[in-house]
Chain A
């Protein structure tokens, strides 16, 4: 029985971690869907989202020091929720603007070039963002102040669920619902889906491709920002290089799910999160980071289209 509880615990931790990867993976998959391009700089947008949240949180603390709340109860819930929402929204808006700016400045002028040229540019943007951030704020990790009090949730017996984990999973689910609404029920969501199938037909049908692409970047970047805030609840330190590993792992998650496929990105993220946690939990912590690379190589060699992806044939 204890083994089962242990396994469930790992599963839960993995789902929490996987939610973060899923949110970031969505950005990769959506951009690849409309542009057939791997946005190497996406991990650094996630990092900047965390920093934006860090700044906003510090600002809030000058008015309300949130760390005086020791537990989530009926009368502490509202201030905590409102402040957290402000931080999240602020970071998401910041990153949406950032994402669109990057697209306009660095990627759009290269829209007719070979994809490799854009990939190289993306690598350049990624390095630029990391190192400029490091220049301005220093390489030392900085502590993200508490947004919600991190306590174990009562009443679950031997299973330890932290309030932060619950917040992560619930927020992710909420964001997923919103995303699905946008992609499935709005005109621009329809345009996104159409664009990922046939851009030429889209523009012939009167779709403003540029606008839709920018919107896609905005959406993906906002989700990455949310991930940055959520992850700070669990491990509250931000560094300029924090986007590298999660970025590449989320990319692997997107490929695992089938790059271009939104459901796939979520499933992929959760799978990678769970795998990582299991590997670490069952005695191989040093292999934790290598898992993602291993998965990547296995998928690309044996099933490059991933779990839900489409095969795209080159027209000869």
Chain B
């Protein structure tokens, strides 16, 4: 894999993570458990969608095949998506929505903080823009994890179940493959180990405050999303997200 291809892959991973999580949060619009939560979910979805556009636009330009952000988002099939498995986990209940968000935000925050010093200037700029938003996301999801974890017996039980259920998807971002290693070698992306340490420390602190048990860091971690091997669920997400462009190819406003 040449250096340019590796960078395109890396950018698609960033863009697809933000895109799929944004789509999942958007599906909750009008269904939040409270008005404030509903607005927060859609605000976070909007931030992530804005970040998606920056990543995918850059990926399309580097790829050089004339694919813009819309073609990349609407006209790829699930095997071509590069998002991690975590973001395609279902909106099963609000505990799972918030734990998924908290795991994602924690990783996202520490990654963006490193990417602002990337040797790739454009990546550094996108990260700088994203970091402010992501910081706000992480503050909110951490708050919610504590409030619900250290809440009623029922909310506590649901949060613990969500943590246990989603933990196996929280490690994929730190399992580096040839693409990630190529980015590290070029100084584009940070190494996995310091990111993982920061992730485990912050998650540990918040879960402890939330009176939730932290699963084992050495548990088996699911993987494959970054390489395009997804769960069945992604197909349903894409079916809804892409239906208009699939039915009316090239449709525009």
A, B assembled together: no
